Structure 1
Amino acid sequence: MSSPSESPTGPCDQILRTDAARNREKILDAAREVFAEDGLDAPMAEVARRAEVGIATLYRRFPTREDLIAATFAGKMATYADAVEQALADPDPWHGFCTYVERVCGMQAADHGFTDVLTMTFPTAEALEAERSRAYRGFAKVVARAKAAGRLRTDFSDRDLVILLMANAGVINATGDDAPDAWRRLVAYMLQAFAVTTGEPLPPAPKGRDLFNAMVHGQHSHPATHA
């Protein structure tokens, strides 16, 4: 008969599982801090240092940077998708639309890592992309309600949100701690532009496939996300 230390369900095995779970949470906590401060290009070694684990342990838990990003931002992507449900529940369709846009842009401003996550795509991170798709489908309904209420310009496309998030990410990354609220002015300008107007019609919105490719290229422009 195997001794407890040799049994796959013995005390030693339980200790190993507990240590593995503890290390995983320490790594995720550290990754949230590091990515929030420095974005997705932050060195993996810095995540390991703050988690007080070896780099080998980090890679054993998360073999690729994309694995770590997906696990780190799973909760925020769920919140991002849930926010659209709150917008749909707002009795004022225009207020729901504006509040949602402001909230999502605010989530970008609060976390430099999430700023990048919202403007990139991670094809192998299925759970992360499923939440993104849920949010996108919900936002299309938010848009339809605001248009039906006569408050959102008829040529607005749900793809315009992607463009706004890209622009907002650029402002946030450029202004940093020097002008941390600059993004609010951009969003306020854009919400005014989105409202019903008698101005000239907009140029056509980009095709969905073209925007997706831009988001993929956005990931490729961050070489560190492949390390």
Structure 2
Amino acid sequence: MTSSRSWRSEEVARNDRALLRAAREVLAVDGAHASVASIAARAGLGVGSLYRRYRTKEELFKRLCLIALREYLDAATEGLAMDDPWEGVMHYAMASIRSGPASLASVAGTFELTDEMIELAGQSDRAVSRLVERAHQAKVLRAGVTPVDLELLIEQLSKSPLQEQLQRQGRTELDDAARNARQRVITIALDGLRAVPAGPVPGRPPGYELFAVRWAPSADGAQPPE
């Protein structure tokens, strides 16, 4: 009995992770109009499984936002615990970019914020302000850069039109090249925040095939949706 209950709990947790991951991915492409059916299909589950966990799409969006807010606060707190102020800022930036705030920007204003969300956002804002202030005091952050500048840059860099399009086209053979190219662009952009000259750009120089292949007909002859 205990084993059966444990297995069921693990399955519920696994399905929940799949739904949350799928919702972020679908939101990144379809925005707030993303359908419940699309999210469930992306997760490899039925619509009924989604509604058993989240009664409404709004409830799912709220859950995603709460998770993201906790991740941002954790990343900022970890950055402040680092001895090197520049590394602290970069830790927060990279962790937040991986979290993908751009995928959630589309749901802004579609529901009422809870007290918990407001409190977490305030804590995160204060922590990021301390990160930026500390970096300025150490003279490692470009003069004039504000916490809002940093947050807006993170939001821009958390979305990758190239990767999204290649995924939609099923061009899996270019996954590694696309990830490499994105990492280079992120590094180049974040290095622009430095008060001192940056080091070499990481990874391999990307090739123009990343653009050309998107214009080539699909191998299966699939047509774009009307």
- TM-score, shorter chain, exceeding 0.5: yes
Tell whether 2:48 aligns with 1:77: no
AA at the equivalent of 2:186: V
The percent identity for this pair of structures is: 21
Name the counterpart of 1:124.
Answer: 112
Question: Against the structure 1 CA distance between its residues 61 and 183, is the aligned structure 2 distance closer, same or farther, given a 3 Å change threshold?
Answer: same
Name the counterpart of 1:180.
Answer: 179
CA displacement at 1:181 relative to structure 2: 3.5
Tell whether 2:95 aligns with 1:96: no
Structure 1: tracts of 5 or more residues without a match: 1-20, 109-113, 199-227
Structure 2: tracts of 5 or more residues without a match: 1-8, 168-173, 198-226
Structure 2 residue aligned with 1:52, among 46, 57, 62? Answer: 46
CA displacement at 1:48 relative to structure 2: 4.6
Tell whether 2:129 aligns with 1:140: yes
State the structure with more CA Rg.
1
Paired residue secondary structure (1:54)? helix
Tell whether 2:190 aligns with 1:191: yes
CA displacement at 1:193 relative to structure 2: 1.4
CA displacement at 1:137 relative to structure 2: 1.6
Q: Given the two structures, how large is their TM-score scaled by the length of structure 2? A: 0.61
CA displacement at 1:59 relative to structure 2: 8.4
CA displacement at 1:142 relative to structure 2: 0.1
Q: Given the two structures, how large is their TM-score scaled by the length of structure 1? A: 0.60
User: Hey, what's the Cα distance between the residues in 2 that align with 1:182 and 1:73?
Assistant: 28
**CA-to-aligned-CA distance 1:171-204 (integer Å, 9 cap, x gap):** x133335412333222212222111169xxxxxx
User: Hey, what's the Cα distance between the residues in 2 that align with 1:129 and 1:24?
Assistant: 28
Structure 2 residue aligned with 1:33, among 4, 12, 21? Answer: 21
**CA-to-aligned-CA distance 1:80-104 (integer Å, 9 cap, x gap):** 2111111111111112112221221
User: Hey, what's the Cα distance between the residues in 2 that align with 1:97 and 1:194?
Assistant: 10
**CA-to-aligned-CA distance 1:203-223 (integer Å, 9 cap, x gap):** xxxxxxxxxxxxxxxxxxxxx
User: Hey, what's the Cα distance between the residues in 1 that align with 2:107 and 2:38?
Assistant: 22
Q: How many residues align?
A: 170
Paired residue secondary structure (1:181)? helix
